[in-house]
Amino acid sequence: MMYRVKHVTSYRYGEPVLLAHHLAHLMPRQTPHQTCLRAQLRITPQPSEMDESGVDYYGNPTAFFGLRDPHGTLTVQVNSKVEVRPRELPGPERGAPWNGPGDPLADLAGETLVEVADFCVDIPFVAAAPDVRDYARGSFVPGRPLVGCLRDLNTRIRNEFAYDPAATTVATPLSQVLAQRRGVCQDFAHLFIACARSMGLPARYVSGYLLTKPPPGKEKLRGSDASHAWVSVHVPEFGWVDFDPTNDCLPDEEHVTLGWGRDFDDVSPLRGVVLGGGEHRLKVGVDVEPIAQ
């Protein structure tokens, strides 16, 4: 599949911003199943300084820009062209049987050990608290193939949690998400990661886009797509395998990857430090459009 992706982020400030520095994770990364053919970043007003050549600790492309003149609005637009190729998706019966949590790094060495190590530890957004571990045990049944355990967890989160954008914020703890059984893709990804890590499995947060389809007989609305989040788990026999608990699927050609990290905070699409500005209003629009090869 070939896609044209347009992502527009707009801020309107209540008072002038006198100085601002921003870091963007908005350019799709290269992966074994994805090639970013073009990514053009446009910023209004014109930045005083800009560097689009950055790469973060996890290999994700980044852009830094600074604005030194007073401004009341900010618009960041990225136009990308991305090719996404099919993946090999393991079935639920694949893999060695699950025999309980172990040391996820015990049999790893070299580059693989370095690549995986950061995705095993507890951090605030994805801490493996006792309630998380108890929830995970419902899927990780001794003797069940490991991929089957993960796919069961994927299905349970999709079926047992309601998608509700008003229920949480970026700071909502997992204990609250578990208690109220509501949230958004970011919450479900964090829950899946915490469950996997509680069972001794390396897991990382993946930021990107999902191609959405309009209802039958309806035209797709401009800006109706959105940023999306899912999970990648390191499975011994297969390497990194992606899971989308929001939609109970294994990501394939309809998922476009921006980047990955330990949690949302590592790959926030746009973050910054501003002087001034007061209250602000944020608007985000995303279009993912399939195009001819």
Q: Which domains does the chain have, with CATH numbers?
A: 2-85+268-291 (2.60.40.2250), 110-251 (3.10.620.30)
Between 264 and 111, residue with greater pLDDT: 264
pTM: 0.93
**Residue 224 predicted with pLDDT over 60:** no
CA distances (Å), origin 252, targets 33, 77, 89, 95, 211? 9, 26, 8, 20, 11
40 membership: H or E segment, kind and range: strand 34-44
Q: Of all residues in the chain, what percent carry a pLDDT higher than 90?
A: 78
Convert the pLDDT of each residue in 266-275 to its tens digit.
Answer: 999 999 999 9
User: Residue 205, CB half-sphere, CA atoms under 13 Å: how many?
Assistant: 24
pLDDT at 155: 97
Tokens found for residue 239: 């390497």
R_g of the chain, CA atoms, integer Å: 20
CB 259 within 8 A of CB 207: yes
pLDDT at 6: 95
pLDDT at 47: 97
For 248: left if phi > 0, alpha if psi spans -120 to 50, otherwise beta; the answer is left
Which residue's structure tokens are 């209250």? 279
Between 125 and 222, residue with greater pLDDT: 125
**Residue 231 predicted with pLDDT over 80:** yes
Between 24 and 224, residue with greater pLDDT: 24
- Residue 264 gets which letter from DSSP? G
Residue 223 pLDDT class (50, 70, 90 cuts): very low
Out of 3-7, 23-27, 100-104, 187-191, least confident range: 100-104
- Alpha carbons 90 and 177: distance in angstroms, whole number: 29
**Residue 222 predicted with pLDDT over 60:** no
Convert the pLDDT of each residue in 37-94 to its tens digit.
Answer: 999 999 999 999 999 999 999 999 999 999 999 999 999 999 999 999 999 888 888 7
How many other β-carbons are positioned within 10 Å of the β-carbon of residue 64?
16
